[in-house]
Amino acid sequence: MISITRRIAKLLIVFLLLLSSLFGVFWLADCLFPLAINPSRTTQTILADDNIPLWRFADNKGIWRYSVNLDEVPDYYFDALLNYEDRYFYDHMGINPLALLRAAWQNLTNGRIISGGSTLSMQVARILDPHDRTVMGKLKQIFRTLQLEWHYSKRDILTFYINYAPYGGTIEGIGAASWSYLGKPPNQMTPSEAVLMAVLPQAPSRLRPDRYPERAQQARDKVLDRLAANQVWPAEMIAQIRHDEVWAYPRKTPQLAPLLARRLSQQYPKQMLIHSTIDPSLQYTLEDAAMNWKHQLPPKNSLAIIVVDHTTMEVKGYVGSVDFNDSERSGQVDMITALRSPGSTLKPFIYALAIDEGMIHSASLLQDVPRVNSSYRPTNFDEGFFGPVSATEALQKSLNLPAVQLIELYGPKRFASKLANVGLPLVSAGNDPNISYILGGTSLRMNDLVTAYSAFARQGNVSPLRFTRESILTEKSLLTAGSAWITKQMLSKQNNLSYKTGTSYGYRDAWAIGINPRYLIGIWVGRPDGTPVVGQYGMVTAVPILQQVNAILLNKERRLNRLLPIEPQPDSVTSTLICWPSGQKLVEGDANCHRQKQAWILDNMIPPTLDSLVVLNNNSYRSGWLTIWLNDQGKRTAADCSHVHPKQIALWPIALENWLLPNERRTALLPPVAEDCPVFGQDVFLPLMITGLRDQQVIKALPNQQEVRLKLNHQGGMGNKWWFLDGHLVAQLNDNESLELPLSANTHKGSHNVLLLDESGQIARLTFRLE
């Protein structure tokens, strides 16, 4: 009895030593040949805000996976999978010896490989580290399976399986398969579909439901037989599923928002699933609209559309080009991130900043007149001048010269710094801010421009665009709430939309930026290579697209039965009547109130009309309030004369004289000078006139004369003079110089315009005809 006990003890010791040795060998092998998931097998999927795949980036072998966790897959899928593939998955250590023996017997008796006896763990091991179907390959698979069970939990192994199981072609994992074959996420699969997805990895190419639905149905029913035999599901449920025909979508690859997908992939290279903020139905509609617009655009033109919910700053629509697959139109160039000239789209910011600075209100008198008192001499887009305009009118008509007037006073460096501080850097040669910035003489990116426009929708605060669900809403102050609200009222309006257009030099870029009660909309049209497109500008090219997108968005709000946000008028904003030319509020009946305007004002402050930057020594040439001295006859005298009294009169800016009504001009407002005590020198007003040629005069060249020389002089005005012929500067002369103007009798035939400008901004002009 004692010897038997000793023998058993020795056998037990040997067994334990053998077991320890095997464990030691396994531990050493595990250290030398660790199991690792190949990082090259990483794929990326860009998701919409409802988790629908927008775009996918395959791995280096062209495989696409849409990773899911166990909670995102219905339980009945696991019922089918485990009962068909590995009923004892939770009970073994990765290897089922009985299944291996059964498979070996089947293979030997049939003379070929019938089954492999692999558990789910062994299948995962083979997926992670493929092997040959040989004895050595099987041993390698067993070793990898043991490693897998050693390092990972059953839930981890099952998660590996559902994300790496082959489903035919370039698809791996239940997530990608469900979207590709069924057009829905795994958690929305029906029991019938779940059974099909469970069996499909057995022979994914042979059982593809989109190609071989009969085979797929037979395989599904085979799983149902197993479920019935094991009494996993009720017989009634299984019978009902058998009546369901196998049907699948023609396999589709997610193909929405490709340029945004590329952008996010580059920004988050290690993230497998990127949850964007894109509304998939809106994105599809916008891409479809872009394709329709494509056929109306000139050759090689592209467009870009971005839609942002300004209540959350989430980007809901992103169309970076007219057609991603059109190389002729540079479809893979993302124009939302490209540097482009903004045209006039920066103008609302200088008006808003000027309102905050107390420089203007919404009805302030501005001057749309020729200017030469700066190194940059702009002209209006339409080459015409409107003379006196309100700030609102100037902004809505996108007049260049009033905007230049404001940025000269505000300061271009200060202006550029304000925008850069909130995320709108302006780029130019040398990066030296100047007044041309306000007219498009700089470059920016569309997403930065739309970001800055959020100030007009978010009470003066600028918030960065949010492209992903995880991004945090932040904001910086650019304007006061009152200034932002007033400027938004000053913009052009149509169908719940406030908008600003822009056109860059040479018709290279056409812009329209819109704000409706919920959304910011950015539109750009042009050629990505920067080639000019004659006749392409914001109002004609970009605004129709803006209006269509706005209509799409408003219809969407109505379908959702969602009320549009209402932006209340800030307490700091009030409305009042003001008078031109002073720009201020006057009592009713005041003779100095030449024209009355309704104005939005900030903090109850009413700024006076801006004066010129040019310092004038002559009081009669200045604008605003002027104190004059009158005698008893109402004639103008010097201030030190006897028996005189003062009177205040409001004068229009001198540069506007040619656009004023006769009773608004200085000749009507300034009384005649008294002879007995006259005003001398700096207080005498001399209107600017052109002499040597009459308005509408016809000039004929003498017979055989090849050139006509005109000698033009001037009277009145102040300082240096600038002469223009048909809008082109031909001479800058001193106060006492005449202009010699040679004209070819052949090439200059027809009508011509002459314009004379002095230092005060006063102009004189006439037309003549050469025959």
Q: What's CA 404's distance to the chain center, in Å?
A: 26
**Orientation of helix 154-164 relative to helix 135-151, angle to 10°:** 120
Cα–Cα distance for residue pair 316/326, rounded to 1 Å: 24
CA dihedral 238, 239, 244, 245 (to 10 degrees): 100
Scanning the structure block, which residue is given the tokens 């040997």? Answer: 14
> What are the backbone dihedrals phi and psi of residue 497, each rounded to the nearest 5 degrees, phi first?
-130, 125
Burial class of 93 by CB neighbour count within 10 A (0 to 12, 13 to 18, 19+): exposed
Residues 6 or more apart whose Cβ sits within 8 Å of residue 393: 386, 399
Strand partners for 633: none
Give the dihedral sign, CA 391/392/395/396.
negative
CA–CA dist 60, 42 (Å, integer): 8
User: Could you give the CA distance from residue 454 to residue 514 in angstroms, rounded to a whole number?
Assistant: 10
For the record, the structure tokens of 367 come out as 């001057």
Query: What are the structure tokens assigned to 652, written together?
Result: 């229009």
- Which secondary-structure segment (H or E) carries 744? strand 739-744
Which residue carries 């001193």 as its tokens? 734
The gap from C-alpha 247 to its chain's centroid, in whole angstroms, comes to: 41
Provide CB contacts within 8 A for 697, sequence distance 6+. 766, 768, 769
Q: Of the listed 67, 85, 463, 620, which one is catalytic?
A: 85
Q: Is 344 part of the annotated catalytic residue set?
A: yes
Residues whose CB is less than 8 angstroms from the CB of residue 12 and which lie 6 or more positions away in sequence, other chains included: none
Q: Where are the alpha helices (DSSP H) in 200-356?
A: 213-229, 235-242, 258-267, 280-294, 347-356
- For the question of residue 751 being annotated catalytic, the response is no
Tokens of 753: 């315009």
Cα 188 to Cα 183: distance, rounded to the nearest angstrom: 10
First to last CA, the chain: 142
| The one catalytic residue among 178, 302, 330, 344 | 344
Q: Which residues are catalytic?
A: 85, 344
